[in-house]
Amino acid sequence: MDEGFAMVFPFTSIKDYVIELDDEMELFRASVREFVEKEVEPVAVKVVKEGKIPEELYQKAIEMGFTGIGIPEEYDGQGGGAMYLVILMEEISRVLPSFGVGLLVNGLFTYPVLAFGTEEQKKKYIPPVARGEKFAAHASTEPVAGSDIAGIQTTAKKEGDKYIINGRKIFITGADKADFFVVSARTNPPPEERRKRWWGISLFIVERDWPGVEVGSRFDVMGLDGEHPSEVILDNVEVPEENLIPPENEGFKLLVQTYDHSRVGIAAQAVGIAQGAFEKAFNYSLQRTAFGRQLMAFQAVSFKLADMLTMLQTARLLTYWAATLADKGREEYVFAASMAKTYATEVAEKVSTYAIKIHGGVGVDKETGVEHFLRDSIITTIYEGTNDIQRLTTIRQLLKKSFGIDVLSM
């Protein structure tokens, strides 16, 4: 390794590993936990069994101001950065991960509008979402374009002062209750040069009640009961040119930055899942007896719990570190977020599996409230960029930071 590399390669200094938390964040965590234990926990098992989140639960969360977390006060938000969103998602996911997704999926709409949209777009669309009067979603995935964002086939043809959008989006979380969508579409065909095939995609703000917009059937996916994704069909939808999120044809870059920003939220969801599974397993090991002894007395159980706790705390530290870098505006955040998402989601899957095994037969009973953590954790390893994509992002960022190499141009 070159002598010029820092001792903490690929980062610059040991100070890069600082996690910044304060008393206000702890107070916020306490308020979220109180809400979850009072309002969410009593209905969690019913939600998992029936697959429906009560509307009044969303309304209570809106009253708490949770839909405004991460949105500047000038747009009627509550303020707060990535760390506040991480705390919110973690605490909710400790009990009901699907509700965390349903509540915070708005961020996949608000982030690109706030980061890249015009001031008119921000003033029109962000405040009602922040206040909880409207819900929003992000429509990008297609039957032939999931991890391969550049493969998007939905088209947006310019006609005068509007665009005509045609296409089909699938696995769109929150589509069933969304009033607004950020939609990706091709405003130009991809260039013949393979490494530039990302060019020609643009982002648009589309309103649900416009002619030609249809939210189709729900996908009966495994996990996240109560927040199943839907398809969104766009049939000759007329979109005013002022609803283009600039710049035209550069939407791929906007999408990648959006996912870079939101990825730490999935890591936080995974940490919450692992925490919830660990707590249930720990409590059960103290309450249940076998062969005249508490389960905790058996090394086969106690060693599993020790490993679960170690993995959980490591995932939490990695996630909080990524959130700190995000709030500092550090470019290394992309590194950290991808690593956090990869590690935390795989930890959640493993911890949830251990929790079920510690519970034995009752661990697969929905009434126990354990088995859904495993199903939910598997989803987290796939959406918001599969973990293999995160590993690819990590190595690309490593090469770019170390040698200035852009893998896409190789």
Q: What amino acid positions are annotated as catalytic residues?
A: 384
> Where would I find the H helices in 137-247?
none
Alpha-carbon gap, residue 114 to 87, rounded angstroms: 21
Alpha-carbon gap, residue 358 to 228, rounded angstroms: 29
Under 8 Å CB-to-CB from 235, ≥6 apart: which residues? Answer: 166, 212, 214
For residue 237, is it left (φ>0), alpha (ψ between -120 and 50) or beta? beta
The 10 Å CB-count burial string (b at 16+, else e) for 364-379 is eeeebbbbbbbbbbbb
Asked if residues 23 and 2 have their Cβ atoms less than 8 Å apart, the reply is no
Under 8 Å CB-to-CB from 244, ≥6 apart: which residues? Answer: 163, 202, 203, 204
Letter for the amino acid at 170?
A: I
The CA-based dihedral angle spanning residues 103, 105, 106, 112, taken in that order and rounded to the nearest 10 degrees: 160
DSSP conformational letter for 169: E
Neighbours of 195 (CB within 10 A): 12
The 10 Å CB-count burial string (b at 16+, else e) for 58-92 is beebbebebbbbbbeeebbbbebebbbbbbbbbbb
Q: Which residue has the tokens 């609803």?
A: 243
Residues counted in the chain: 410
